[in-house]
Chain A
Amino acid sequence: DGGITQSPKYLFRKEGQNVTLSCEQNLNHDAMYWYRQDPGQGLRLIYYSQIVNDFQKGDIAEGYSVSREKKESFPLTVTSAQKNPTAFYLCASSRGDNYGYTFGSGTRLTVV
């Protein structure tokens, strides 16, 4: 079955450490996205990529980095520069025509 997989489901890190969240899709989608969800804030776009080896900053990119070396994969690194990293992170993919996104099941990151 085609889908989009985020791992792990729960992640704990110490303050000051970088952490990388995985996102893999086998839908043959060109575009991939990272969102962050906080209570009362809805979905806020961190980074997106519409093609391999290219990506753009979203609304809240500071403290995050991404790479898109393969069509299937779009990992997100939460760096120590991110001031409030504890959140629920969602990855999504699409064909790039804006008919809709397919979301992963999310990763809850807790920084202690």
Chain B
Amino acid sequence: DQQVKQNSPSLSVQEGRISILNCDYTNSMFDYFLWYKKYPAEGPTFLISISSIKDKNEDGRFTVFLNKSAKHLSLHIVPSQPGDSAVYFCAASYLNRDDKIIFGKGTRLHILP
């Protein structure tokens, strides 16, 4: 049973527009959420994170929003650039516990020229 779900396998967005990637989770005990970006044939790299005590975290063009009541988070990329074309993994964890980070299956983002 998937605890972290990314329901859109792929997403295409025009260059310069906003990209919105969505993620849902089932366990309300998760207290830390992360987004990773992955290019083909490379390892994922950390992009941005958010603690459950916040509802928004911003880093340059990237903003993550957390809606705890809906168990939903989203990653906004504004403006979208060609280098943003990659697979994005949403992940959730329990901080400071002997447990693993749970990853979603990923969403492939295509930035169109």
The answer to whether B95 touches A98 (Cβ under 8 A) is yes
**A55 CB to nearest chain B CB (Å):** 13
Given contacts A42-B105, A43-B103, A48-B100, whether A100 and B34 have CB atoms under 8 Å apart is yes
**B84 CB to nearest chain A CB (Å):** 19
Closest to A97 in B: B96
**B54 CB to nearest chain A CB (Å):** 15
Interface centre among A42, A58, A100 (most CB of B within 10 A): A42
The total of Cβ contacts below 8 Å across the A-B interface reads: 57
The answer to whether A97 touches B95 (Cβ under 8 A) is yes
Q: What number of A residues sit within 8 Å (CB to CB) of B?
A: 26
Interface residues of B in 80-109 (CB under 8 A from A): 89, 93-101, 103-106
Residues of A within 8 A of B45 (CB): 103
Interface residues of A in 53-111 (CB under 8 A from B): 58, 88, 90, 92, 94, 96-106, 108
The CA-CA distance from A6 to B42 in the complex, in Å, is 11
Instruction: Say yes or no for A22: interface residue by CB 8 A criterion.
Output: no
The answer to whether B41 touches A90 (Cβ under 8 A) is no
The CA-CA distance from A58 to B44 in the complex, in Å, is 19
Instruction: Say yes or no for A20: interface residue by CB 8 A criterion.
Output: no
The answer to whether B98 touches A42 (Cβ under 8 A) is no
**B2 CB to nearest chain A CB (Å):** 9
The CA-CA distance from A88 to B41 in the complex, in Å, is 8
Instruction: Say yes or no for A52: interface residue by CB 8 A criterion.
Output: no
Interface residues of B in 26-46 (CB under 8 A from A): 32, 34, 36, 41-46
The answer to whether B46 touches A100 (Cβ under 8 A) is yes
Chain A positions within 8 Å of B, measured between CB atoms, are: 6, 33, 40-43, 45, 48, 50, 58, 88, 90, 92, 94, 96-106, 108
